[in-house]
């Protein structure tokens, strides 16, 4: 009886839904911790919160086809060909995240070393993390989540004395077009939909709640962090490539100051989870039997593409066109799942296997 109960809670190679929540929330919050202003559509200002809320609504809306695909057992990624079409997109996402990590490391943390060294170091660690599998990543994500939330709470709490309400005004500085475009840029930074599509069959229980909760909570937390940054830094925020790092430099409580070290440490934990998860997702999309070989291929490709992106970020401080990014995002996260909803037949075979 006890063994039956235990088996119903634990399945090898699968994770409980709350691990998914931790993984996706940490993955999303890393985006705000290393928010690179020069890659956003226009300079950050007080109407950012409007873009953020619109982005939140758009993200939830665009994730509906993916959620329905998983609920109705019509996941497009079950198909080997489609899965391999997703493979370059997942490598692209991993490479962007790696490039941001090494760009931040090489500019703010240690400007004496080349960004390639940081790229190689983080990818070595993340390749090992991805190789260990989703269970190991899930367990570590719980720890990273706790550390990240503690870091964010400290960051906001220690900046309360520096917060000036007047810095949030004028409330609207950008045009309506700029606000909408920034909202869509925020949405296209979302990796969580595609991660959910890839690892949905790794959950012990089928539930969409962790996904919706993780997107909602990460958007709300990042909104709080950005409002804090705007209220503390004022117009100074528009001069900072990494405004959240500047916010952590301002954090202090009486004699206890200079908390940028905590920001760096917390961010490294979270980045490790995110990058390992993205490499793991690339491995799943590649659908090669040998785990080692797929891990090696994904890591090498991520390294190559991220070096190209790093050079672009450091030299010209420009990312890809926001329109192109959004079109690619929409295609893989919404259009293909939507087509699959209408075209793909329900996979009764998998259902029977699960019930059996």
Is 143 a binding residue for other proteins by CB under 8 A? The answer is no
Q: How far is the CB of 127 from other proteins (least distance, A)?
A: 13
Q: Pick from 13, 170, 255, 349: which binds other proteins (CB under 8 A)?
A: 170
Q: What pairs with residue 203 in β-bridges?
A: 15
Q: Pick from 8, 239, 291, 323: which binds other proteins (CB under 8 A)?
A: 239
Is 316 a binding residue for other proteins by CB under 8 A? The answer is no
Is 169 a binding residue for other proteins by CB under 8 A? The answer is yes
Is 250 a binding residue for other proteins by CB under 8 A? The answer is yes
Pairwise CA distance, residues 106 & 98, whole Å: 12
Q: How far is the CB of 167 from other proteins (least distance, A)?
A: 8
Strands (E) in 228-307, as ranges, are: 252-253, 256-257
Q: Spell out a b/e string for 176-213, using b for 16 or more CB atoms within 10 Å of the CB, else e.
A: eebbbbbbbbbbbbbbbbbbbbbbbbbbeeeebebbbb
Of 316 and 355, which CB lies nearer to other proteins in the complex structure?
316
Is 238 a binding residue for other proteins by CB under 8 A? The answer is yes
Contacts of 278 (CB under 8 A, 6+ apart): 90, 93, 94, 97, 191, 195, 302
Of 62 and 106, which CB lies nearer to other proteins in the complex structure?
106
| Tokens (6 digits) for 30 | 């890393």
Pairwise CA distance, residues 329 & 79, whole Å: 20
For 219, which DSSP code? H
Is 36 a binding residue for other proteins by CB under 8 A? The answer is no
Pairwise CA distance, residues 49 & 165, whole Å: 15
Site for other proteins in 104-123 (CB under 8 A): 107-108, 111-113, 121
Is 167 a binding residue for other proteins by CB under 8 A? The answer is yes
Of 63 and 119, which CB lies nearer to other proteins in the complex structure?
119
Is 281 a binding residue for other proteins by CB under 8 A? The answer is no
* CA dist list (Å): 248 to 84, 232, 281, 327: 41, 10, 32, 34
Of 46 and 340, which CB lies nearer to other proteins in the complex structure?
46
Is 171 a binding residue for other proteins by CB under 8 A? The answer is yes
Is 311 a binding residue for other proteins by CB under 8 A? The answer is no
Q: Pick from 175, 236, 265, 318: which binds other proteins (CB under 8 A)?
A: 236
Here's the x/- map for other proteins, 179-218, by CB under 8 A: it reads as ----------------------------------------
Q: Which stretch, 2-10, 162-170, 297-305, 315-323, contacts other proteins (CB under 8 A)?
A: 162-170
If one counts every other C-beta atom within 10 angstroms of the C-beta of residue 34, the result is 21
Q: Which stretch, 167-175, 185-193, 295-303, 348-356, contacts other proteins (CB under 8 A)?
A: 167-175
Peptide bond into 170 cis (omega under 30): yes
Site for other proteins in 62-101 (CB under 8 A): none
Encode 305-325 in three state secondary structure.
HHHHHHHHHHHCCCCCCHHHH
Is 233 a binding residue for other proteins by CB under 8 A? The answer is yes
Is 287 a binding residue for other proteins by CB under 8 A? The answer is no
Is 234 a binding residue for other proteins by CB under 8 A? The answer is yes
Pairwise CA distance, residues 322 & 329, whole Å: 10
Is 252 a binding residue for other proteins by CB under 8 A? The answer is yes
| Tokens (6 digits) for 317 | 């401080």
Is 44 a binding residue for other proteins by CB under 8 A? The answer is no
For 203, which DSSP code? B
Write out the DSSP string of 27-74: HHHHHHHT--GGGSSS---TTHHHHHHHHHHHHHHHHHHHHHHHHTT-
Pairwise CA distance, residues 198 & 231, whole Å: 38
Is 13 a binding residue for other proteins by CB under 8 A? The answer is no
Please give the residue ranges that form the binding site for other proteins (CB under 8 A).
107-108, 111-113, 121, 166-167, 169-172, 233-236, 238-239, 246, 249-250, 252, 257
């Amino acid at each position: 009886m006890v063994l039956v109960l235990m088996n119903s809670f634990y399945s090898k190679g699968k994770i409980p839904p709350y691990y998914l929540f931790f993984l996706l929330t940490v993955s999303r919050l890393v985006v705000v911790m290393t928010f690179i202003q020069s890659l956003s559509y226009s300079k950050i200002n007080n109407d950012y919160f409007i873009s953020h809320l619109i982005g939140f609504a758009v993200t939830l809306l665009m994730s509906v086809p993916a959620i329905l695909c998983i609920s109705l057992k019509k996941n497009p990624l079950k198909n080997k060909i489609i899965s391999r079409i997703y493979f370059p997109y997942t490598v692209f996402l991993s490479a962007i995240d790696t490039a941001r990590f090494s760009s931040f490391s090489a500019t703010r943390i240690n400007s004496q070393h080349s960004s390639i060294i940081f790229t190689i170091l983080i990818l070595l660690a993340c390749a090992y993390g991805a190789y260990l599998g989703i269970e190991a990543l899930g367990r570590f994500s719980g720890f990273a989540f706790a550390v990240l939330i503690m870091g964010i709470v400290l960051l906001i709490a220690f900046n309360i004395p520096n917060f000036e309400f007047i810095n949030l005004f004028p409330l609207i500085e950008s045009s309506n077009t700029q606000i909408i475009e920034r909202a869509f840029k925020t949405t296209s930074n979302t990796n969580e939909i595609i991660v959910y599509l890839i690892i949905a069959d790794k959950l012990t229980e089928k539930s969409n709640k962790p996904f919706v909760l993780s997107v909602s909570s990460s958007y709300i937390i990042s909104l709080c962090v950005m409002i804090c940054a705007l209220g503390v830094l004022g117009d100074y925020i528009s001069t900072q490539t990494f405004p959240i790092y500047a916010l952590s430099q301002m954090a202090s409580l009486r004699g206890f100051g200079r908390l940028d070290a905590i920001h760096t440490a917390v961010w490294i934990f979270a980045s490790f989870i995110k990058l390992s998860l993205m490499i793991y997702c690339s491995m799943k999309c590649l659908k090669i039997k040998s785990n080692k070989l797929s891990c090696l291929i994904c890591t090498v490709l991520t390294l190559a593409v991220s070096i190209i992106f790093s050079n672009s970020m450091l030299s010209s401080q420009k990312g890809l066109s926001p329109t192109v990014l959004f079109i690619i995002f929409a295609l893989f996260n919404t259009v293909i799942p939507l087509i699959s909803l209408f075209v793909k037949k329900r996979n009764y075979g998998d259902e029977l296997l699960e019930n059996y």
